Every structure is written in structure tokens, then in C-alpha cells.
């Protein structure tokens, strides 16, 4: 799950974390992924593409204008299994990579080899390898942060952007959004992003029982129901979004909603790879501001933001003000959905994405 960075910065946590991160010189590559991870079920057979120093595993289907699906944490290309089929059937070339540090792709162990410029360069290199000039980039969670950044760091490679749950970061040359909706999360040093920063800390909890971890994280209700969330005590692990503390409970909040076959693939993959690669995305987060300060300040391609009613980390209100720097923007809210929107409400998400693609891209 990507951080609500605006609230994170306001709490003063990013500054202190940035100062305390270790400076590592190792560039060792995680080779476990390619040797131990199985290709995802319910997906096309993946191919490997050399890009930006990694071998990126890419699932693809269909032909026509390219649509690249970028997953979040702790997800995989597998998270887009329903969208690949629907978008390919609608006449598009659907592409879903396991991104740097994840799944079949794996990646460096050094957190310095992870940052927003690198993530976007990975995707640009993947397009180059496939001979694709431009693509629509569709991302969820951390993948959403990447696709909005693609439109500013590599605008010549983007024909459109779809952000699922994740809003576009506001350019620094604009004033803050007037009257922002306060977050329901009580920001403290227990916020999950802060607890993810120290190497080994989150790994020890997440990897102790990987299936238990996914049963909690990929769930409905609990922390993914905004009404229930708002009624919880402000000192609770829930309201502080202290994921590591909740995972360690025998019965954490929320109800798993995905089929066992899906949960088993996530579990087996992360048992093979561990969580360090994905956690390095968080450990690189303090570098985002400096990278995006030099990026284009406007997004001038057709754009779609899809929010989810019950996402308390990235609520639909977090997209307020995007119109100020994205002239061609549409918004849609999926009702009765938590954070895992494309897996929780696949038919509705597919319908909205395909209808938009057919109007704006075809």
C-alpha cells in the first residue's frame, strides 16, 4: 500500500527517516525470484525483457494500443489478471509486469537501487525492448504513483494515465488544495510506512507466516470500511494504521475475500522472494520530492482517476485538486470497495477502464 505522503510529511516522519536511512554500497541482485517463483496462474505465459539493469517478467495479451498495468505493494502483475483479459478482449495490447523487486522479476537488494526515476525508467526501457512508442499507463497503489510520475518524467511515452486509488502528486509550483478533507488516520511513528523503513524490521513480521500476512492485508472490512474505521479509538493500532502490530494478532481485523488459489499464489511467491524488494520502494520514498521537483509540472494526456469508497489511506478525496494540473481528467468512485479495488470489484473496474479507453484512446 502506497503511503498517503501528504499526511506523512505533515507528521514530520519523512524528514527524520531520510536522515536515519543507512547508506548502503552493495548492489547485490536478488536471484531467488527467477529460480524459485512460478509463473502466475490465470495469466498468459510471461516473457522476460532486459530493461534498466533488470530482467523484467512481463505478462501480455491482445493487440492494439498498449496499456501497461503497474501493481502496488504487496501485489504482483497477478493482481491485474481480470483486467488483462477484459482489456485485451476490447482491442488493446494489455501488458502487466512484475515490477522491480517483485515476483519473477526480483531485483537488487540495495535500497539505493530503488526510486521513482528508476521505476519509470524500467517501464520506458520495457517499451523500448518491445518496440512500443507510447502506452496508456494504469497503476494501483504504488503502481499508481508510478504511472502519474511517468506522465511527468516520460511524457513522450504516455498516451494516457489511469490511477486506481492513488491520486497524482500535486506539483510543487501550485498552492496546497483549499480545505483538504482531514485523514481518518492518526499519524504517529507507528504508521506502517515509518515501521517499514528499518531494514529487517518489517521483514521479520511479514515473513513469519506469509499466508497469515496476506489473509490480513488482502481483506475486506476492518480497516477497509471507513465508517467502522472512524469509530475506532484514536489510540488503536487501526486508527494509527500500525500494520505490523495488527498482523501479529491471532485474529487481525478484516475478512479475506479472494479465492484460495489466488491467496496461495501470493503466499508461495513471497515465501520464495521475501518482502525486501517491495519494502525498498518505501525506503526510497524520501527521494521522491527531489526527483519530481525537476519533472514536468502538468499532465497533458487524457487521464482517469478511479477511487474506492472505503479506502482510508487513499480516499477519493485525496484526488481533490487534480484538475488544477490535469486538464483532461475524469473521476469515478467504486462504491463498497476497500483498497484492493481491481481484485474486489473487477467487473466494475473493467467496465470503467474499457469504456474510458474506447472513448479516449481508440
Q: How many domains does the chain have?
A: 1
The verdict on whether 154 is a catalytic residue reads no
Name the active-site residue from 85, 98, 121, 141: 141
Do residues 312 and 185 lie in contact, with contact meaning Cβ atoms separated by under 8 Å? yes
- The pLDDT assigned to 3 comes to 61
> Of all residues in the chain, what percent are helix, strand and coil, respectively (each to 5)?
40, 15, 40
CA dist list (Å): 212 to 35, 73, 304:
24, 16, 34
Distance CA 319, CA 340 (A): 17
Q: At what angle do helices 116-130 and 142-153 cross, to 10 degrees?
A: 70
Q: Does position 72 have pLDDT exceeding 90, yes or no?
A: yes
pLDDT band at 20 (very low <50, low <70, confident <90, very high): very low
Name the active-site residue from 282, 305, 310, 311: 282
Distance spanning both ends of the chain, measured CA to CA: 31
Q: What are phi and psi of 238, to 5 degrees?
A: -60, -55
The pTM of this model reads 0.92
79 found inside a domain: yes
Query: Helices in the chain by DSSP H: which ranges?
Result: 5-10, 13-20, 32-36, 81-89, 116-130, 142-153, 192-195, 201-206, 210-217, 226-231, 243-247, 260-273, 276-283, 288-293, 341-344, 346-360
Q: Does position 21 have pLDDT exceeding 50, yes or no?
A: no
CA 326, 330, 335, 337 torsion: positive or negative? negative
Q: Does position 184 have pLDDT exceeding 90, yes or no?
A: yes
Nearest of 127, 137, 135, 124 to residue 164 by alpha carbon: 137
Do residues 120 and 114 lie in contact, with contact meaning Cβ atoms separated by under 8 Å? no
pLDDT band at 6 (very low <50, low <70, confident <90, very high): very low
Q: Does position 24 have pLDDT exceeding 70, yes or no?
A: no
CA 290-156-87 angle, 5° bins = 105
**Residue 362: other Cβ atoms inside 10 A:** 11
pLDDT band at 2 (very low <50, low <70, confident <90, very high): confident
Task: Using DSSP, state whether 175 is helix, strand or coil.
Answer: coil
| Span of 19-23, 139-143, 189-193, 220-224 with lowest mean pLDDT | 19-23
Share of the chain above pLDDT 90, in %: 89
- The pLDDT assigned to 362 comes to 85
Q: What is the overall mean pLDDT for the chain? A: 92
171 found inside a domain: yes
| Span of 3-17, 50-64, 170-184, 278-292 with lowest mean pLDDT | 3-17
- The pLDDT assigned to 69 comes to 99
- The pLDDT assigned to 28 comes to 35
Region 127-153: what's the mean pLDDT?
98
pLDDT band at 196 (very low <50, low <70, confident <90, very high): very high
- The pLDDT assigned to 1 comes to 82
Q: Does position 23 have pLDDT exceeding 80, yes or no?
A: no
- The pLDDT assigned to 4 comes to 54
Region 304-319: what's the mean pLDDT?
98
Q: Residue 242: which domain range?
A: 5-13+30-360
85 found inside a domain: yes
Do residues 268 and 32 lie in contact, with contact meaning Cβ atoms separated by under 8 Å? no
240-253 tens-digit pLDDT: 999 999 999 999 99
Give how far the C-alpha of residue 121 lies from the chain's centroid of Cα atoms, to the nearest Å.
Answer: 16
206-256 tens-digit pLDDT: 999 999 999 999 999 999 999 999 999 999 999 999 999 999 999 999 999
- The pLDDT assigned to 7 comes to 41
227 found inside a domain: yes
Distance CA 106, CA 272 (A): 11
* CATH number of the domain residue 53 falls in: 3.40.50.1820
The verdict on whether 332 is a catalytic residue reads no
124 found inside a domain: yes
22 found inside a domain: no
18 found inside a domain: no
20 found inside a domain: no
CA dist list (Å): 240 to 236, 308, 327:
6, 20, 35
Q: Does position 29 have pLDDT exceeding 90, yes or no?
A: no
CA 62-159-99 angle, 5° bins = 65
Q: Does position 106 have pLDDT exceeding 50, yes or no?
A: yes
The verdict on whether 282 is a catalytic residue reads yes
Amino acid at each position: 500500500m502506497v503511503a498517503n505522503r501528504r499526511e506523512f510529511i505533515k507528521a514530520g516522519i519523512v524528514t527524520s527517516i531520510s536522515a536515519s536511512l543507512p547508506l548502503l554500497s552493495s548492489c547485490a541482485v536478488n536471484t531467488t525470484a527467477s529460480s524459485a517463483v512460478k509463473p502466475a496462474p490465470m495469466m498468459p505465459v510471461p516473457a522476460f525483457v532486459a530493461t534498466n539493469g533488470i530482467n523484467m517478467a512481463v505478462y501480455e495479451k491482445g493487440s492494439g494500443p498498449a496499456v501497461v498495468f503497474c501493481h502496488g505493494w504487496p501485489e504482483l502483475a497477478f493482481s491485474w489478471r481480470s483486467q488483462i483479459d477484459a482489456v485485451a478482449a476490447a482491442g488493446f495490447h494489455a501488458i502487466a509486469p512484475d515490477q522491480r523487486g517483485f515476483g519473477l522479476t526480483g531485483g537488487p537488494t540495495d535500497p539505493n537501487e530503488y526510486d521513482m526515476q528508476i521505476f519509470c525508467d524500467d517501464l520506458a526501457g520495457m517499451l523500448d525492448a518491445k518496440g512500443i512508442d507510447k502506452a496508456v499507463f494504469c497503476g494501483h497503489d504504488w503502481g499508481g504513483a508510478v504511472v502519474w510520475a511517468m506522465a511527468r518524467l516520460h511524457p513522450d511515452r504516455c498516451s494516457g494515465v489511469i490511477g486506481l486509488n492513488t491520486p497524482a502528486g500535486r506539483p510543487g509550483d501550485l498552492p496546497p488544495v483549499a480545505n483538504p478533507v482531514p485523514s481518518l488516520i492518526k499519524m504517529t511513528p507507528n504508521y506502517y510506512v515509518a515501521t517499514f523503513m528499518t531494514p529487517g524490521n518489517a521483514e521479520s513480521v511479514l515473513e513469519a507466516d506469509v499466508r497469515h500476512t496476506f489473509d490480513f492485508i488482502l481483506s475486506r472490512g476492518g480497516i477497509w470500511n471507513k465508517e467502522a474505521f472512524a469509530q475506532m479509538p484514536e489510540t488503536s493500532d487501526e486508527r494509527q494504521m500500525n500494520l505490523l502490530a495488527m498482523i501479529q494478532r491471532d485474529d487481525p481485523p478484516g475478512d479475506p475475500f479472494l479465492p484460495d488459489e489466488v491467496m496461495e499464489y501470493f503466499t508461495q511467491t513471497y515465501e520464495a522472494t521475501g518482502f525486501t524488494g517491495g519494502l525498498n520502494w518505501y525506503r526510497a520514498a524520501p527521494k521522491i520530492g527531489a526527483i519530481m521537483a525537476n519533472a514536468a509540472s502538468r499532465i497533458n494526456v487524457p487521464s482517469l482517476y478511479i477511487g474506492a469508497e472505503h479506502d482510508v489511506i487513499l480516499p477519493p478525496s485525496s484526488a481533490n485538486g487534480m484538475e488544477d494540473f490535469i486538464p483532461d481528467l475524469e473521476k469515478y468512485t467504486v462504491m463498497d470497495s476497500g483498497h484492493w479495488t481491481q481484485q474486489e470489484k473487477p467487473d466494475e473496474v473493467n467496465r470503467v477502464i474499457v469504456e474510458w479507453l474506447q472513448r479516449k484512446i481508440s
